[in-house]
Amino acid sequence: MSETSTDAAPSAQRAIPLCVDLDGTLVQSDTLHDSLLVLVRTRPTKLFPLIGKLFHGKAAFKAYLSSLVAPDIANLPYNRKLLLFLQAERARGREIYLATGADTRLAERVASHLGVFSGVLASEGVVNLTGNHKLNRLRDTLSESFSYIGNGSADLPLLLKAVEPMVANPSMRLRAKLRAKGIQPALEFDERASPITSLIKALRVHQWAKNLLIFLPLLLAHRFNAGDVFKTALAFLCFSFAASGTYVINDLFDIEADRRHHRKRLRPFAAGDLSVVTGAAIVVVVFTLALGGASFLPAASFGWILFYLATTLAYSFYLKRVPLVDVLVLSGLYTLRLLVGGGATGTPISQWLAGFSVFVFFSLALVKRFAELENLRSSASPLRNGRGYLLGDLEQLRSFGTASAYAAIVIFAIYISGHDVRALYHHPARLWLAVPLMILWLSRTWLLASRGELNEDPVVFAFTDRMSLLIGIAVAIIALLAL
C-alpha cells in the first residue's frame, strides 16, 4: 500500500459499503484466463462448444466455462496488501462486497475461501457485470454511496461515482484517465513487480547459458574464422529466443502447479506480474525472431531448431509427465544444441562427442529431477508437480545418474587414448589431466544434489558456481597445453 496506512479510512466512511473488483485487483491475475488454461490442459475437447458460447455473449461464455473448470482458488495470486486492508476493515465491522465481472460461481468460491465479504455481485450468465452494468447493479443493490477498489479502465465509471475511490495495481491507462478527471485515489495497493524485471524472468535469460553449448562443435574443431563465429552466434541467438518461447508456454500451462510450489510461485505468470495475454504476445514475438533469424542459417541448423520447438512443445504438453522419458528428452535437447551449432557451420559431430554428450547430459537431466525430489523430501512437501516420480525412486535415479556420468568419463578416456585425437592435439596425453577434474565435477554435482543443495538446472549451476568455473578454466588450460 502506498502513502497511506489502513487506519487512514475515516470512521464515518467505514459505514459506507466497500466494493472490491476481483480480476487484476484482489487477484493479480485474470481468473477467466486462468480458467481457460485449466480447460486447455485438462479438457481440450470442450474448447469448440465453449467458443460457440461467445455468440451468446461474454456472460454466457463465462458461465459455461465456470461449469466446466475452475482455477485453484486457494493458490490464486492475491494482492496481499489489499487483502490485509480488507481483513482489517471487516474486523471493524464494515460491509465489504465482491463486485466482479467474473461468473458468480467462481466469485462465490473466492468469497467463501477468503471469508471477508458480506455479499457477492457477479455475472450470472446474461449480463456481463463490468463498467456501467456493475455501477447500476451496485446502486440497485446497495445505495448511491459506496467505496470502490478497481484496477482498469472498465472500473472508471465506478471510481468516478465512488465516495472513496481506491486502486490496486492500476493500469497506466486508468491512471491517465483518473488524472484527466482530477481524481486522486484515496488509497493505492501496488504489489506487482517491475514489467521489465518480470519480462527478463519470464524469458529466463539466465538459462541462455545452456545454449553456449552451440559453440562447442566449433571450438572442438578448432575453427575460429569470423564467418563461422558469426553463424554460430546467430544460431545461439535464434535458439535462445526459441527456448525462451517454450519456457513461457511451459510456465503458462504449469501455472497452477507453480502456484503450489514454494519457489516457482514467484514466477511472473504464477504471481500475476505478467498476464496470460502478455505471455501469448511474448511467444509470438520471440518465435518470430527465432525463425526469422534462423532462415538465414543453413538448412540443417534451421531444421534442428524446428525439431527443438516440436520436441519441447511435446515435452510441455505430455512427455514431462512420463518417468524416464522426460529425462531422456531433456538430455536429447542438450545434445540437440550441439547439432544446431554443428549445422550452422557445417561442422560434423564426431561419434566421440555424440557418445560423451548422450551420457553426460542424461546424467545431468537425472540430477535435476533427483534434486527436485530430494528438496521435496527435505521440506516434507507433497508431490504435486505431476512428473510421475515417487520419493521412493530417489535411490534408483541416483544409480542411473551416477552410472551415466562415469560412462561419459570412460568414453572421454577412450577418446584421448585413440588415434582420432592426434588429428587435433599434438600432446593428447596431457588431456588425461582433465579426467580427474571431470570426475570431481560430476561427483560433486551429485553430492550437492544428495544434500539438497542443488536448486537449479545443473548446466546453469556450472556457469554460476565458483568451483565449477575454476574446474572449467583448468580444463580449458589443459586443452590449450595439449594443442
- Is pLDDT above 60 for 399? yes
- Is pLDDT above 60 for 10? no
Mean per-residue pLDDT of the chain: 90
CA distances in angstroms from 292 to 137, 241, 289, 302, 333, listed in the order given: 50, 11, 5, 10, 21
Interatomic CA distance for residues 23 and 296, integer angstroms: 43
User: What does the DSSP 8-state code read for residue 297?
Assistant: S
Residue 8, pLDDT score: 46
Query: What does the pLDDT look like over 363-398, one tens digit per residue?
Result: 999 998 998 888 878 766 666 555 678 888 889 999
End-to-end Cα, the chain, rounded Å: 62
* Residue 392 near residue 368, CB atoms below 8 Å: no
Query: What does the pLDDT look like over 422-481, one tens digit per residue?
Result: 888 889 899 999 999 999 999 999 999 998 888 767 877 888 889 999 999 999 999 999
Query: What's the predicted TM-score (pTM) here?
Result: 0.85
Instruction: State the average pLDDT over residues 191-207.
Output: 91
